[in-house]
Structure 1
């Protein structure tokens, strides 16, 4: 077994949100074959309780603890250093010292990083591992460029600067890593535009879903009171794209559905709802749950699951989970990115409030709902099991048992 240094920007447990789900599954895969030395950060006090669970999975672990408010203030030093603010936010002296100790004492044969934000912990280290694999996941520079186009000054300037700084880091990381992986082939194609010299070493590695955990057979009491169909939208509700989708669903889509089905209700399920999302709970037809211990009952007993994202990066786990549980699912084009499901057969695709509302009404028809749910489950089982989707990581790490790769070879 080889020693592998694995760095993630947040503790990869519990696997209850996009970045944690992916990093947890990658950690599981690495730990099957190698001695893993995990370095990560915690910026949510609720995650402190999970340190022992994660320690039990690895040979060694270090958890840098960040206070979110202080980290945001400290990130402003990036304005002086020229770094991206999102990168400096995740800078932690204790983690940096631990990484250097592991590099010099353990001498791992490979370094795997999750997110470009973790790249500075390795790129400037002279003792860094001979094999570097970067699970970039999403093209963050493109995300910030999108935010810049949508924002008003002064945030427009902040986001535009961030897009430039992060793109420079992404290019350097791509040039120096043996492989860069992203969450979908469309995201990988976008990354190849950012880092064209590394295009032959960039792979799309989609997320999977635990089809045994997210199963229609999951028995749970319905969390919904009252009568009438329930539209469910899940996700962390402090994430700007989810906030935008929740507000659009509540203000523009749900009223159109209720014209035809007056008893229809909306459940917005997920942690840390922003103030404007929480305010939606004042409407009797809308439930805003906040953090829940298990999202499955809310998905299992929803009549329709809706993912009306207008802004999206990568792949939407919420869509895969709903499909795995056999629920009829309505998505926008943005929410379908990276998922090769066939609209009309595996799920329903619509853009614009009237079209989304019409798709929801179709999915509320019992026969249509039954057919969509069955086919959704079948698609996910066939195409999105974790062992199937993550097999590419074995290719990326095969250098552990062979000659050391040459870093930074231009293609």
Structure 2
């Protein structure tokens, strides 16, 4: 670390997944937070590595971190280990992300470095914030994960419906306790913050909104490589991590139920599913005019050369990075109402917001048949992102929440 860095205050940053490279939604947010913290702090990062490809990137974190404790997490073993929660009565998400090695590192690092301020990215990482010496604790919940589990339960049969409902209830109890033990809880949209405070009214005064952003310099149409699509009909694309259940549900619903209806009007339409780790259900969709790419080195050409980008998520809520990136690449985007909650964009002008499958079919068909409207929406979409969604503007809130005036270096405020 440079000598000038030695003068900066230390901060503990805990993330449930290694925040580099920023190649999926949660890692885009966690990486930008890391980069922001590193400008004004010496960062001590505790995190998990849940994919073997990411282990190679641990060393690269030295650019932003003074020290890193990266714990390997095998998802299969983690799921088995999480069942201990059935015996302890806690949410299964907590033992999934529990590591005695990480807990020991947190306590010794906080003591050795005199760390008083900490940020936990995702609710389960808040279980490490009880280290003696920490005076200011901030949790970036992003979304209300407990509500997602409850929503999953509605679409499952017993016993999974019971298990997911239990997870929703137990995780909410932990989220409420963690929120009251911290100085601030962050959510990605006003809607998510309101959802949480309805379930946890005692946390109203400690709940804040920190929206997602986008690097509009990187995600810019003029920076896009050549088209990856072979000659053929128009292209509709969905991008995202394809082992994430809300994304799996979205592309399956779109491909099996909505795409055939759109093709009645646009027979040559091709659907591209772009993203890492496609689940078996996603791979099974591949066929005539449906393409599943798996991991790609750069998502920008797939966005820039698509005719329409869709994000028909029925489960995930809050502003999606995939939506902001597509808008920054000056593409017309069709997004579900739940995924557009909090999105500052004018429906019908800067994007299309749909409330059911019939609306998705209608607006996608309309856009594909009207190139002038697509072009106008593309220009307006990028302008909106450039004006409203700078990461730097949103992340300045962390400077205030982690400032000594809130009780750091002198007791809780």
Change (3 A) 1:201 1:92: same
Q: 1:344 aligns with which of 332, 341, 348?
A: 348
Give the equivalent residue in structure 2 for 1:80.
87
| Cα distance per residue 1:277-324 (max 9 Å; x no partner) | 10111x211011111111111111111101111111332111100000
Q: 2:185 aligns with which of 180, 184, 191?
A: 180
| Cα distance per residue 1:306-348 (max 9 Å; x no partner) | 1111111332111100000000111111221221211011111
Give the equivalent residue in structure 1 for 2:39.
32
Structure 1: how far apart are the matches of 2:113 and 2:372? 59
Q: 2:336 aligns with which of 312, 316, 332?
A: 332
Q: 2:283 aligns with which of 278, 297, 305?
A: 278
| Greater Cα offset, 374-383 or 352-361 | 352-361
Q: 2:126 aligns with which of 115, 119, 122?
A: 119
Give the equivalent residue in structure 1 for 2:115.
108
Give the equivalent residue in structure 2 for 1:10.
17
2:407 paired with 1:398: no
| Cα distance per residue 1:21-72 (max 9 Å; x no partner) | 1111111111100111010001110100101111221111110111222111
Shift in Å at residue 164 of structure 1?
1.5
Give the TM-score, by structure 2 length. 0.95
Q: Which runs of 4+ in 1 moved over 4 A?
A: 400-407
| Cα distance per residue 1:4-27 (max 9 Å; x no partner) | 010000100011111111111111
Other structure's SS at 2:285 match: helix
User: Is there any run of 5+ residues in structure 2 with no aligned partner, and where?
Assistant: 1-7
Other structure's SS at 1:217 match: helix
Q: 1:246 aligns with which of 246, 251, 255?
A: 251
Superposition CA RMSD, Å: 1.5
2:152 paired with 1:152: no
Structure 2: how far apart are the matches of 1:194 and 1:302? 40
Structure 1: how far apart are the matches of 2:246 and 2:340? 14
Structure 2: how far apart are the matches of 1:149 and 1:405? 47
Structure 1: how far apart are the matches of 2:72 and 2:40? 28
Structure 2: how far apart are the matches of 1:141 and 1:279? 30
Structure 2: how far apart are the matches of 1:350 and 1:402? 44
Q: Is the 8 A contact 1:329 1:363 kept in 2?
A: no
Give the equivalent residue in structure 1 for 2:166.
161
Structure 1: how far apart are the matches of 2:307 and 2:143? 31
Structure 2: how far apart are the matches of 1:161 and 1:379? 40
| Cα distance per residue 1:241-275 (max 9 Å; x no partner) | 11111011111221122111111110011111111
Q: Is the 8 A contact 1:331 1:350 kept in 2?
A: yes
User: Is there any run of 5+ residues in structure 1 with no aligned partner, and where?
Assistant: none
Shift in Å at residue 276 of structure 1?
1.6
Shift in Å at residue 378 of structure 1?
0.4
Shift in Å at residue 406 of structure 1?
6.0
Structure 1: how far apart are the matches of 2:181 and 2:410? 11
Q: 1:190 aligns with which of 167, 190, 195?
A: 195
Other structure's SS at 1:83 match: coil
Other structure's SS at 1:267 match: strand
Structure 1: how far apart are the matches of 2:165 and 2:265? 43
Give the equivalent residue in structure 1 for 2:4.
none
Structure 1: how far apart are the matches of 2:94 and 2:260? 41
Q: Is the 8 A contact 1:178 1:405 kept in 2?
A: no
Q: Is the 8 A contact 2:149 2:167 kept in 1?
A: yes
Change (3 A) 1:145 1:219: closer
Shift in Å at residue 121 of structure 1?
1.2
2:58 paired with 1:54: no
Q: Is the 8 A contact 1:2 1:400 kept in 2?
A: no
Q: 1:135 aligns with which of 118, 123, 140?
A: 140
Give the TM-score, by structure 1 length. 0.95
Q: Is the 8 A contact 1:175 1:195 kept in 2?
A: no
Q: Is the 8 A contact 1:136 1:180 kept in 2?
A: yes
Give the equivalent residue in structure 2 for 1:93.
100
Structure 2: how far apart are the matches of 1:98 and 1:402? 24
Structure 2: how far apart are the matches of 1:263 and 1:377? 28
Shift in Å at residue 362 of structure 1?
2.1
Structure 2: how far apart are the matches of 1:43 and 1:92? 13
Other structure's SS at 2:284 match: helix
Other structure's SS at 1:41 match: strand
Give the equivalent residue in structure 1 for 2:3.
none
